[in-house]
Structure 1
Amino acid sequence: MRKEKNDEIFKEILCITIFDLVKYLEKFDYLHSGMSVIDFGSGTGHDAFQIAPLIAPGHITGIDVTPEMVDYAKKPLKS
């Protein structure tokens, strides 16, 4: 039960963090259509998936040192 609650809290914090990041990048006009972006420490790929529509038809590459995170990040692309 505690793990589920921690996971829920983490997801909420993660969403707030990426939302604020995207707002900041948009406010200062850092994101443009057609850009190439590298997401270092990409983890699950959540940030990359949030930024990708803002740079479409550009390209975003996620990099992470943990193979399990890379595998997890690739899952949505398979469906």
Structure 2
Amino acid sequence: MTKEVIIEKINDFLIDEFEVESEDISPDANLKETLELDSLDFVDLVVAVESNFGVKLVGEDFINVKSLSDFYALIERKLS
């Protein structure tokens, strides 16, 4: 799966499942602030990643994830 496809799939489920406005999605956007995530939302995000990509995420995976770009890179690493 190419990086572009990964980004497109992530952006699609952020818009559909987290009701993020498409204009708020940019690689530099802060993941937590853009998605307005609380701890329960992180669980939903992990479930969305599992269902869309078939990879499991754990809390430690998010330690260095600040921006959407970091999140895209995390998923890309998990898929490789």
TM score, norm. by length of structure 2? 0.34
Higher strand share: 1
TM score, norm. by length of structure 1? 0.34
- Structure number with greater Rg is 1
Q: RCO (CA 8 Å, sep 6+): is it higher in 1 or 2? A: 2
